[in-house]
Amino acid sequence: MSAQKTTWQDWVAVAALGVGSFTIVTTELAPIGLLSNIGSSLGTSTSQTGLIVTLYAWIAVAAALFSAVVLSRMPRRPLLVCLMLILALSSGVAAMAETFPALMGARVIGALAHGAFWAMIGTIGAQIVPPHRVGLATSIIFGGVSAASVLGVPLANLIGSISGWRTAFIAVAVLSFGVAVVCFATLPKLPGSESFGAAAMGRVLSNQRFMCIFAATALVVTSHFMAFTYIEPYLVGQSDITPSVIAYLLLAFGGAGLAANVVTASLIDRWLKSVLMVALCLASAALWLLSMLSDVLGLWGTVLMLIIWGGGIGAVLVGFQTWILKEAGDDALPASAIYVAIFNAAIGLGAVLGAIVLSTSGLNEIYLFAAVATALGTATIALMSGPAVATSQAE
């Protein structure tokens, strides 16, 4: 669909997809702060309970690739509505689970819908808006990821601490249902794409530029979640930071990501590579300083580093997705599906690698490794020329 002129309703639909991305990321990560409560309720260890997050992310990898091949022909509005209803059902069943296998089964169903939904929404912005507004639409849609980090996850954890983890899952189920209703009311009728198979995937994977972006994504997302997973214990270990201010520090981190989405939305369509390079350099530098100067940064130095890191990573995540959409053309769906698969795999890998580094070294070393990996991702992007809008999207 070539959308040279957009209406206010189209932008409402884009905003609805942003709320959808907020919902799916909240659904994926909300249990992180509830693991001990869930484990205590179901009689499982915290490490075993953590599988509901790690396994969820890795199942979403397969779901993203599967959906791109099998579901590509389906009209987008009914498909997305159905996927959000499945997510709502998954969280509702999880809230009622009395055993760990039942909880895991509910999460697996949600992960399947999660991967498919995320793979699809990455391309829908380009179907609704003209090529020169793809960056803005992508910033809005994937701004939900930053919003989930700053609002969704803490709110779910707050609800869980007050009313129990089951109430938190019910709240996520209600939100998912609400998104399904809004998507049904606002999304235009968008056709599915031509079906594709191994050939389309092969074209994407044989494209050196895409492979560079995928490699940078794997490095940056893995390093981000390696560090972000352990941000709370890192802050607790700082002598100048009291437990009472940690919530505000996390708010500053997430708020910076939201602000970065707003700023990059106005810049990314014209200066995508420049925005990415600045954001990557800032994120890498902040991680390195958090590692090397943890004893001397103090409260306000740490706040500054968190703001720089949060803002940088917020711009980076939107930038990678936008770059892929600008170049993919007719292969936008398989390229986006591969990107989402790599992204979700990197979430799980980052948490695992962080645990390994923590067990063998320490928290500061986690942030050092994260800084180095982010710098490698920066170097990968630096060696590329800027993105070119694909002909099929520009027509």
pTM comes to 0.76
Cα–chain center distance at 208: 24
At position 112, the amino acid (one-letter code) is L
Q: What percent of the chain lies above the pLDDT cut of 70? A: 91
Q: What is the end-to-end Cα distance of the chain in Å, rounded?
A: 10
Using an 8 Å Cβ cutoff, are 59 and 112 in contact?
Answer: yes
Tokens at 323, concatenated: 């770059």
**Could you give the CA distance from residue 171 to residue 175 in angstroms, rounded to a whole number?**
6
What's the average model confidence in pLDDT over 206-221?
A: 91
Confidence of residue 372 (pLDDT cuts 50, 70, 90): very high
Using an 8 Å Cβ cutoff, are 324 and 336 in contact?
Answer: yes
DSSP class of 30: G
Using an 8 Å Cβ cutoff, are 138 and 125 in contact?
Answer: yes
The pLDDT of residue 388? 65
- Lowest average pLDDT, out of 140-149, 317-326, 364-373, goes to 140-149
The pLDDT of residue 380? 93
For residue range 81-92, list pLDDT tens digits in order.
999 999 999 999
Task: Name, in order, each residue with C-beta under 8 angstroms of 209's C-beta and a sequence gap of 6 or more.
Answer: 327, 384
Which range is most confident: 32-46, 55-69, 114-128, 300-314? 300-314
What's the average model confidence in pLDDT over 301-325?
A: 88
Confidence of residue 136 (pLDDT cuts 50, 70, 90): confident
The pLDDT of residue 1? 43
What's the average model confidence in pLDDT over 106-116?
A: 91
Q: Burial letters for 310-333: b for 16+ Cβ neighbours within 10 Å, e otherwise? A: bbbbbbbbbbbbbbbbbbbbbbbb
Q: How many residues does the chain have?
A: 395
- Other C-beta atoms closer than 10 Å to the C-beta of 2 total 11
**DSSP of 118-132, one letter per residue?**
HHHHHHHHHHHS-GG
Which range is most confident: 229-238, 339-348, 377-386? 377-386
Using an 8 Å Cβ cutoff, are 330 and 392 in contact?
Answer: yes
Residue 203 has pLDDT above 90, yes or no: no
The pLDDT of residue 319? 85
What's the average model confidence in pLDDT over 280-286?
A: 96
